[in-house]
Copies of this chain bind each other. A is one copy, B any other.
Amino acid sequence: MSITINNIKNFLINIEKTCDYETLYNIKGWVRTVRSSSNTMSFCNINDGSTLNGLQVVIQESNYPDIDKFNKTVKTGCYIEINGRFKKSPAKGQMFELIMYDFSIIGDVDDTYPFSKSRMKLDTLRNYIHLRSRTNVFGSIFRIRSALTKAIHDFYHEKGFLHLDPNIITINECEGGAGVFQLTEKDITNEGTITYKDGKYNWETDHFNRAPYLTVSSQLHLEALACGMGNVYTMNKSFRSEHSNSTKHVSEFTHLEIEMVNNTFDELMDISVEMIKYSIHYIFKHCDPDVCNLDKFISKGLMSRLYEIINMDFKKIKYSDVIDMINSDIEDKKCKVSKLAYGDDLGSEHENYITTKIGCGVFVTHWPMKLKSFYMKQCDDGTCESFDLLMPYGIGELIGASQREENYDKLINIMNDKNINSDDMEFYLDLRRYGTCPHGGFGLGFDRLLMMVTGIQNIKDVIPFPVYYKNCKY
User: Which A residues fall within an 8 A CB radius of B?
Assistant: 1-2, 4, 6-7, 28, 30-31, 48-50, 77-79, 106-110, 112-113, 129-134, 138-139, 142-143, 145-146, 149-150, 153, 157, 159-160, 162-172, 177, 180-192, 194, 196, 199-201, 203, 207-212, 214, 221, 224-225, 227-231, 236-237, 239, 241, 251-252, 254, 260-264, 267, 270-271, 406, 424, 427-428, 430-438, 464-467, 469-474
Instruction: Return chain B residues, CB-CB under 8 Å to A168.
Output: 168, 237, 252
Instruction: Return chain B residues, CB-CB under 8 Å to A436.
Output: 79, 106-107
Assuming the contacts A109-B433, A164-B142, A434-B131, asked whether A171 and B474 have C-beta atoms less than 8 A apart, the reply is yes
A164 and B142 CA atoms in complex are apart in Å by 7
Assuming the contacts A1-B267, A160-B7, A211-B187, asked whether A221 and B464 have C-beta atoms less than 8 A apart, the reply is yes
Instruction: Give the number of copies in the complex.
Output: 2
Check if B200 sits within 8 Å of A189, measured CB to CB.
Answer: yes
A397 and B77 CA atoms in complex are apart in Å by 38
Query: A138 CB to closest chain B CB, in angstroms?
Result: 8
Instruction: Return chain B residues, CB-CB under 8 Å to A267.
Output: 1-2
Check if A207 sits within 8 Å of B181, measured CB to CB.
Answer: yes
Instruction: Return chain B residues, CB-CB under 8 Å to A225.
Output: 133, 142, 464
Check if B30 sits within 8 Å of A228, measured CB to CB.
Answer: yes
A106 and B201 CA atoms in complex are apart in Å by 45
Check if B182 sits within 8 Å of A228, measured CB to CB.
Answer: no
A467 and B427 CA atoms in complex are apart in Å by 16
Check if B201 sits within 8 Å of A169, measured CB to CB.
Answer: no
A113 and B435 CA atoms in complex are apart in Å by 9
Check if B164 sits within 8 Å of A146, measured CB to CB.
Answer: yes
Check if B228 sits within 8 Å of A139, measured CB to CB.
Answer: yes
- Which of B210, B467, B470 contacts A209, CB < 8 Å? B470
Assuming the contacts A107-B434, A153-B150, A162-B143, asked whether A1 and B263 have C-beta atoms less than 8 A apart, the reply is yes
Instruction: Return chain B residues, CB-CB under 8 Å to A106.
Output: 436-438
A7 and B131 CA atoms in complex are apart in Å by 48
